[in-house]
Structure 1
Amino acid sequence: MSRKFTSLNIDSEILKAIESLGFKELTEIQEKVGPVALAGENILGSSSTGSGKTIAFLMPILERTSWEESNANTLILAPSRELALQIKNEYDTLGRYKKLSCVAVFGKQPFQEQISAMKSRHQAISGTPGRVLDHIKRGTIDVSSIKHLIIDEVDELLDRGFTDEVMEIVRHLKNVKQTMMFSATITESVRELASEITSDFRIIEAARDEELNIEALHYELDVKDKWKALLSVIYGRKPQGMIIFVNTKDECDRLQKRLEGANIDALKIHGGMMQEDRLKAMERFKNKEIPYMVATDVASRGIDVSDLDISLSYDFPVEKESYVHRKGRTGRNFKKGLAIYFITEYDLRKVSEVEQYIGSSLGEISHMDYETYRNGKDGFREFQKNLRRNRPRKKVTHTDITKLYINGGKKKKIRPLDIVGTLNAIEGIEPDDIGIIKVLEQGSYIDIMNGKGEIARKGLSERKIKGKSLRVEKARKE
């Protein structure tokens, strides 16, 4: 059986988007889910974190969605705002050539911003259960148009107590034709929830973490030696990208500040931070501006960095499921990864719970060699200087797409059709060159495809839109 994306018989515009992201072959979960999802069957899927699960469920949905649909036909539920936003970004990236877009809705962001975003044409909504339910109750999500329901990380939704909200959302959705649910592991409680949501589903399981290219190291040490052990790893292994897990917000703040004090570049992310600060930190980490991130489990959802060298548990996880999720932060897309866990005398009970949960022993538990802590500092300093000098430029996907901004929107009675009509009058601009158009209150954003951004910008600057002369420029930020 071919492992090429073309074997799924999906739209060439989706294949073009996948190719632009650098993916060549289907992963196991994509290969198994694709045909079943395209056939419209309900699915309960399980695969390791980093195995391409999001693309697996988005491809079939995008295949059966058209730009003409102006209200969302797909609702995606996720346990955290970071994951909801990550899914929205992947939907937009994969759907860009079909001019499909997704709106993300989550807590600690003004309702009005989200309501305004949903007034523009969109085909999917990705959100956290609490905020999605609030929108449904306010009538700002049209539940009658939802035909596809996707529930991601079901195990995490259960752990975080979202069961009641999820079931209430499901009860509001009367026209759903297909439900796809995904979980890192399929436990009895996951099966029970899946059966409550839909009585008829196909179970699809793909490679587990231990079958991926992830090495796990466990170090037994005294609590007082954890900082010394962390520096031993950093100085000795010199990772170019590492996430450091702790169990509390306070420890996250403290450890990041201590790393900065030791002249080690590190960001932090936890649930007590302002939403804008969290998103900014995630963006900087993903763009490799800063190599290390100290994070709590909740906040780490949605951190999807393809070549993260090490996932290090400075604090051994409190929740047994987090052992698997932390491990899956490294070794993304089947690349080689390393997961390191510090184990103190206070963690022995939790170790037993994890072993029961994963169904095997953690194996050999090592003792840390502190030699690099004592003599590796200078070598690391040189390494970090090189990292700072060679920070990569921000990765740009779809380099043939230019986003334009027009300083006219709904307040000036501008509609997408008005912009399309003006663009079609510009010599050299074809209908296929016009991408997603978002008309907001004060301004509008337009995606221009096929490298014709400058032609469109110049042409729009020389013409009136609905009788109005408007400023047109390359968009800085949407």
Structure 2
Amino acid sequence: MSTTNPLFDEILSKLKIKALNEMQLASIEAADKHDDLILLSATGSGKTLAYLLPLVKSLNPEGKKTQAMIIVPSRELALQIESVFKSMGTSLKVTCCYGGHLRETEENNLVQPPALLIGTPGRLSDHIRRGNITVDSIETLVLDEFDKSLELGFTDEMSFIIGSLPSLKKRMLISATETVRIPDFIGIQDPVKLNFLNSTDQETGLTIQTVASDEKDKLQTLFRLICMLGNRSTIVFCNHRESVERTSNWLKEKDIVNVFYHGALEQQERDAALCKFRNGTANVLVTTDLAARGLDIANLRYIIHYHLPASEDVFTHRNGRTARMDASGTAILILSPEEKLPAYIDPETEKIELPETATLPAKPHWSTLFIAAGKKDKVNKIDIVGFLSNRGQLKKEDIGLIEVKDFFSFVAVRKTKISAALQLIKEQKIKNKKVKIAVAK
């Protein structure tokens, strides 16, 4: 299915998307005809584009004030949406606001108001109190994963933000679960509701399997399972931060290359872990449910539920990291002797028999360089490729995924070439500035 809108067709061409799905087309049509919209659709079904396309259509490129705001529960989701919006290639300015980095950076970006503001409730309410946001001009509000924002206790901040927007005309609420009563402060009246949860669930390419652990401590079973799956991209979900670090360290001792990720890490540590996972430096990510939302990682093959999810919603969101759009994926639950399969999972679910002998998966071919320069230093991907090619004598095929943040960057470099390249570039300058360059910790 294609659109009849030239602007949308141009954007889809830039995103290399051939056609919109049924849910996305329905969302665009509904947003065109109604002021208030509730969209329910499975994780990974393309909801971000389903609301960004009608949003872009409604924004005035000549406007000098902020026209729309997207509120999300996590910085990861905020950054993900910003990335998609920028990839659409419009001339519209966007600013992302979230905790964990300097507020002053955002304040500088807000001096010239962006057409679109994306952010987490705490940081957005802080900016409003400081008078940094042109609240009177915002006419469109999107609440992405609004159920999670309410669940995480952001009710007071969201109530304050929405109460500070006097000119709101349009509200869009987006979620992958249908479990939450919508609070009155959101001000949604007579909304049109699009529920694609059942239809998209049936269409996903997700396979669910179980594996039995002989012991209450499942580490040995997890190790054997990862060995069986090989070096495919895998997320391991644990219920607690302490369990995440314990599991990650134990796997490292068993020579399984992995990274871990949870909410107590500093922002740079989070960025480094996710970048290493995305670029193939580590094929295994051990994490809490923080990674169950807002992360869009290409070609993710396996989800392992090391700890059973706390609810069916959590199970759904964890699994939504794989089998996204038309891809296939597998979710595997590890069950200890005293654990039973949750009631919401088919009791006939396929059981995996692990091989008697475990063979370590092949090691990743990539390593990650940390460069202490980013967007705010006027450094971009082209600069980094040129620097590594000219000064580090790396060929194009030796340089992998590059991620440029505000004040630092990460670059995947073929592991066999990284030592020699480091020696060549250690005294060199990027953009006439000497910066720290090292293998990312």
Bin the TM-score by the shorter chain. Answer: 0.7 to 0.9
| 1:364 to partner: Cα distance | 2.1
Q: 2:126 aligns with which of 126, 134, 137?
A: 134
The 1:404–1:82 alpha-carbon spacing in structure 2 relative to 1, beyond 3 Å, is: closer
- Pick closer, same or farther for the CA change 1:333–1:144 going to 2, 3 Å: same
Q: Distance in 2 between matches of 1:472 and 1:292?
A: 35
**Structure 1 residue aligned with 2:105:** 113
The whole-number CA distance in structure 2 between the counterparts of 1:297 and 1:183 is: 16
Alignment of structure 1 residues 146-165 onto 2, 5 Å: 146-165=138-157
**Corresponding residue for residue 316 of structure 2:** 324
> What is the CA distance between 1:17 and its match in structure 2?
3.8
1:369 is aligned, of 343, 347, 353, to: 353
Please list, as runs of the form range in 1=range in 2, the aligned pairs for 1:310-389 lying within 5 A after superposition: 310-344=302-336, 347-348=339-340, 351-352=342-343, 355=344, 361-364=345-348, 368-371=352-355, 374-377=356-359, 380=361, 384-385=362-363, 387-388=364-365
CA apart distance, 1:68: 2.3
Partner of 1:93: 87
Q: Which runs of 5+ in 1 are unaligned?
A: 356-360, 394-402, 408-439, 441-470
Equivalent of 1:76, from 70, 77, 85?
A: 70
For residues 185-264 of structure 1, the aligned pairs below 5 Å read: 185-187=177-179, 189-190=180-181, 192-193=182-183, 196-206=186-196, 207-224=199-216, 226-264=218-256
| CA RMSD between the two structures | 3.0
* Higher mean C-alpha displacement, 299-308 vs 248-257: 299-308
Deviation at 1:145, TM superposition (A): 1.5
1:404, 1:473 within 8 Å by CA — same for their partners in 2?
no
Distance (Å, rounded) in 1 between the aligned partners of 2:275 and 2:91: 24
**What is the deviation of 1:291?**
1.4
Q: Secondary structure at the match of 2:19?
A: coil
In structure 1, distance between residues paired with 2:18 and 2:93: 24
In structure 1, what is the equivalent of residue 419 of structure 2?
none
Change (3 A) 1:351 1:253: same
Secondary structure in 1 matching 2:101: coil
Pairing of 1:258-277 with structure 2 (within 5 A): 258-277=250-269
Alignment coverage as a number of residue pairs? 380
Contact 2:216/2:338, CA 8 A, preserved across alignment:
no
CA distance in 2: counterparts of 1:194 and 1:319, whole angstroms: 26
**Alpha-carbon distance in 1 for matches of 2:153, 2:202:** 28
Q: How far does the alpha carbon of each residue in 1:39-81 deviate from its partner, in whole angstroms, 9 at most, with x for none?
A: 3531100111011100110011112223322332111111111
> What SS does structure 2 have at the residue aligned with 1:308?
coil
Displacement after TM superposition at 1:246 (Å): 0.6
Secondary structure in 2 matching 1:377: coil
* Corresponding position of 1:425: none
State the 1:20 CA deviation. 3.0
CA contact (8 A) 2:97 2:106 kept: yes
Give the conservation status (yes or no) of the 8 Å contact 2:206–2:322.
yes
Distance in structure 2 (CA, Å) of the matches to 1:54 and 1:406: 28
Aligned 8 A contact 2:73 2:149 in 1? yes
* Structure 2: segments with no counterpart, 5+ residues: 370-374, 380-405, 407-429, 436-441
Q: Output the amino acid matched with 1:246.
A: C
- Distance in 1, matches of 2:18 and 2:256, equals 36
Distance of 2:339 and 2:12 partners within structure 1: 43
Question: How far is 1:116 from its partner?
Answer: 1.2
Q: Is the 8 A contact 2:98 2:120 kept in 1?
A: yes
| Corresponding residue for residue 396 of structure 2 | none
Q: Between Structure 1 and Structure 2, whose CA radius of gyration is higher?
A: 1
Counterpart Cα distance in 1 of 2:173 and 2:338: 36
Q: Is the 8 A contact 1:245 1:295 kept in 2?
A: yes
Does structure 1 conserve the Cα–Cα contact (< 8 Å) formed by 2:211 and 2:353? no
* 1:36 lines up with 2:30 in the alignment: yes
Task: Please report how far the alpha carbon of residue 283 of structure 1 lies from its aligned counterpart in structure 2 after TM superposition.
Answer: 2.5
Could you give the per-residue CA deviations for residues 102-151 of structure 1, whole angstroms, max 9, x where no partner exists?
21111222221211121245211111112111111221111112111000
Change (3 A) 1:392 1:161: closer
CA distance in 1, matches of 2:338, 2:202: 26
Contact persistence 1:84–1:127 (CA under 8 A): yes
Mapped partners of 2:335, 2:378: distance in 1: 56
- TM-score when scaled to structure 1? 0.72
| Identity in percent | 29
How much has 1:214 moved relative to structure 2?
A: 0.6
Aligned to 1:462: none
Quote the Cα distance in structure 1 between the aligned partners of 2:184 and 2:215: 41
Aligned partner letter, 1:203: K
1: CA distance, partners of 2:368 / 2:21:
27
Give the distance between the partners of 1:341 and 1:327, measured in 2 at CA. 11
Partner of 2:20: 26
Distance of aligned partners of 1:230 and 1:28 in 2 relative to their CA distance in 1, 3 Å threshold: farther
Shift of 1:262: 1.9
Q: Which one has a larger percent helix, Structure 1 or Structure 2?
A: 1
Q: Which runs of structure 2 are paired with 1:418-433 in the superposition (5 Å)?
A: none
Length-normalised TM-score, structure 2: 0.78
Shift of the 345–105 alpha-carbon distance from structure 1 to 2, 3 Å rule, reads farther
Amino acid at match of 2:72: A
User: Aligned residue for 2:56?
Assistant: 62
C-alpha distance in 1 between matches for 2:261 and 2:378: 34
Specify the SS of the correspondent of 1:278: helix
Deviates more, 1:17-26 or 1:316-325: 17-26
Report the 3-state secondary structure (helix = DSSP H, G, I; strand = E; otherwise coil) of the residue aligned with 2:178.
Answer: coil
CA distance in 2, matches of 1:314, 1:135: 39
User: What amino acid maps onto 2:232 in structure 1?
Assistant: Q
Contact in 1 for aligned 2:209/2:351 (Cα 8 Å): no
Q: Quickly say closer, same or farther: Cα 1:376–1:346, change in 2 above 3 A.
A: closer
Asked if the contact 1:149/1:178 (under 8 Å) is kept, the reply is yes
